[in-house]
Homo-oligomer: A and B are copies of this chain.
Amino acid sequence: MTANASFSADSSETPGLTDVDAYMVGLGQAARAAAARMRRATTGDKNRALSAMAERLAAARCEVLAANDRDLERGRANGLEAALLDRLALNEARFDAMLEGLAQVAALPDPVGEIDGLHSRPSGIQVGRMRVPLGVIGIIYESRPNVTLEAASLCLKSGNACILRGGSEAKESNAAIAACIREGLVDAGLPETAVQVVATTDRAAVGRLIAMPDFVDVIIPRGGKSLIERISREARVPVIKHLDGVCHVYIDATADPDKALAVAVNAKTHRYGTCNTMETLLVDAPLAETLLPRLAAAYAEHGVELRGCERTRAILPEAVAAGEADWHAEYLAPILAIRVVEGINEAIAHIERYGSHHTDAIITEHYGLARRFLAEVDSSSVMVNASTRFADGFEYGLGAEIGISTDKLHARGPVGLEGLTTLKYVVLGDGQIRQ
């Protein structure tokens, strides 16, 4: 097997490695071996490792921040844009948040070993399902170095080994954090290869990582849409992916107008750049005349540009005319598309046609319509009378989140520890044979 051409197109800057393939296979083999040990790590083992990592990290605060400074300097010299430099930066507060994150993951219940539904069968066997680690998880991410620690802690707590491939901008920060992780694992008596950070910035390493089904059970890419699409296309192992969030709020005619206003404003303006931000507002015709002007006034206060269908513009002449592209758009910006619809069928049809199956909400006081919306809208999160911004692992009580999946299989929506595990059947017998 050779690495995928599109991931090796970039100029290589391999630090002393002559054979990226062999290097990645080595990481894979070590991860597979570590996974066997991790599978039998107790909750105590894993929590001790998390706490040892926090100690090691706290002790290495200066070194880690200094490494981050070097990354930032190099980034500035290379002309990285401000937003990227901000994501790359580890200040004191972000450093404290990393330590706090480790404590939070340690406090989460361990999903591994839970047995569900154990029941007796007529044959005399008992059958149930046990939650177990996936095995080896490959995570590919971009500039934020704190993802290194987050990803490592979640994979560790769920009993998996992992191979982490961060952005080349953050290579010194990631290496410094990786050293603390390794020391913490060793302190707790777990294999240091349970968490491996890819030490080469050669892009061919990514091509190899996603094409080693013998050593890697699942790939989780965290990054821009083009990265994720490319990985999904070229991966030889399953990918838990997060593509776009074209989220809708549908305000039904029976909605409480005050709740509708509050939710619609929050869903758009709480944060513009997040995947669970509303991008299109659908308003039921009977409410449009009275509600749209109130909404427009609120959005104007936030400087949100409105793009409306013809019926919207008849009520809000200041709105720009929305075109077909607007219904598909994930603006990630203070822009909102608005459409007046005739009832729930038209709303659901719009969401089905233009949405990305991420998060969609109905605002209604009608029991039957709420029930229909919940059942019929085929999105990873479906809400009644709540802001789409709640679609988040922390808000859902998962304790932490490795990402949000827009896939239907395996994990859908925010992915926490459970999404990093799987269920196997366990059968308990007393010598039963099949007749």
CB of A289 closer than 8 Å to a CB of B: no
Quick one: closest B residue to A411, CB to CB?
A: B409
CB of A18 closer than 8 Å to a CB of B: no
Given known pairs A123-B395, A390-B125, A395-B123, the reply for A379 and B259 (CB within 8 Å) is no
Q: How far is the CA of A431 from the CA of B423 in the complex (A)?
A: 36
Q: How far is the CA of A383 from the CA of B166 in the complex (A)?
A: 40
A99-107, A129-137, A324-332: which lies at the interface: A129-137
Asked whether A431 lies within 8 Å of B256 as measured between CB atoms, the reply is yes
**Residue in A119, A267, A363, A412 whose Cβ sees the most chain B Cβ within 10 Å:** A412
Asked whether B378 lies within 8 Å of A427 as measured between CB atoms, the reply is no
Tell me, rounded to whole Å, the shortest Cβ–Cβ distance linking A6 to chain B. 16
Residues of the B chain whose Cβ atoms lie less than 8 Å from the Cβ of A384: 426-429
Asked whether A408 lies within 8 Å of B376 as measured between CB atoms, the reply is no
Asked whether A383 lies within 8 Å of B427 as measured between CB atoms, the reply is yes
Q: Of B218, B266, B413, B422, which is within 8 A of A433 by CB?
A: B266
Tell me, rounded to whole Å, the shortest Cβ–Cβ distance linking A219 to chain B. 11
Given known pairs A40-B376, A372-B40, A409-B218, the reply for A382 and B425 (CB within 8 Å) is yes
Given known pairs A39-B375, A132-B378, the reply for A422 and B409 (CB within 8 Å) is yes
Q: How far is the CA of A379 from the CA of B40 in the complex (A)?
A: 14
Q: Of B125, B236, B410, which is within 8 A of A410 by CB?
A: B410
Asked whether B425 lies within 8 Å of A391 as measured between CB atoms, the reply is yes
Quick one: closest B residue to A261, CB to CB?
A: B431
CB of A68 closer than 8 Å to a CB of B: no
Asked whether B429 lies within 8 Å of A383 as measured between CB atoms, the reply is yes
- Interface 1/0 per residue, A239-257 and B, CB below 8 Å: 0100000000000000010
Q: How far is the CA of A256 from the CA of B114 in the complex (A)?
A: 28
> Could you tell me which residues of chain A, from 365 to 391, have a CB within 8 Å of some CB in chain B?
372, 374-376, 378-387, 389-391
Chain A: interface size category: 35 or more
Q: Of B259, B374, B378, B429, which is within 8 A of A386 by CB?
A: B429
Asked whether B434 lies within 8 Å of A270 as measured between CB atoms, the reply is yes
Asked whether B382 lies within 8 Å of A433 as measured between CB atoms, the reply is no
Quick one: closest B residue to A398, CB to CB?
A: B127
Tell me, rounded to whole Å, the shortest Cβ–Cβ distance linking A236 to chain B. 8
Residues of the B chain whose Cβ atoms lie less than 8 Å from the Cβ of A433: 262-263, 265-267, 270, 386-387, 389
Residues of the B chain whose Cβ atoms lie less than 8 Å from the Cβ of A240: 409
CB of A238 closer than 8 Å to a CB of B: yes
Q: How far is the CA of A376 from the CA of B39 in the complex (A)?
A: 6
CB of A187 closer than 8 Å to a CB of B: no
CB of A45 closer than 8 Å to a CB of B: no
Residues of the B chain whose Cβ atoms lie less than 8 Å from the Cβ of A113: 375
Q: How far is the CA of A390 from the CA of B433 in the complex (A)?
A: 8
CB of A10 closer than 8 Å to a CB of B: no
Given known pairs A119-B397, A432-B386, the reply for A39 and B378 (CB within 8 Å) is yes
> Could you tell me which residues of chain A, from 386 to 417, have a CB within 8 Å of some CB in chain B?
386-387, 389-391, 395-397, 407-410, 412-414
CB of A225 closer than 8 Å to a CB of B: no
CB of A430 closer than 8 Å to a CB of B: yes
Quick one: closest B residue to A259, CB to CB?
A: B431
Q: A125-B395, A409-B422 are in contact. List 7 more A-B contacts (CB 8 A).
A: A39-B375, A121-B395, A130-B375, A217-B409, A263-B433, A266-B433, A410-B410
A residues sitting closer than 8 Å to B (CB atoms) are 36, 39-40, 113, 119, 121, 123, 125, 127, 130, 132, 134-135, 217-218, 233, 236, 238, 240, 256, 258-259, 262-263, 265-267, 270, 352, 361, 363, 372, 374-376, 378-387, 389-391, 395-397, 407-410, 412-414, 422-434
Q: Can you list the 4 inter-chain pairs with the closest CB atoms, starting with the nearest?
A: A386-B429, A259-B431, A266-B433, A389-B434
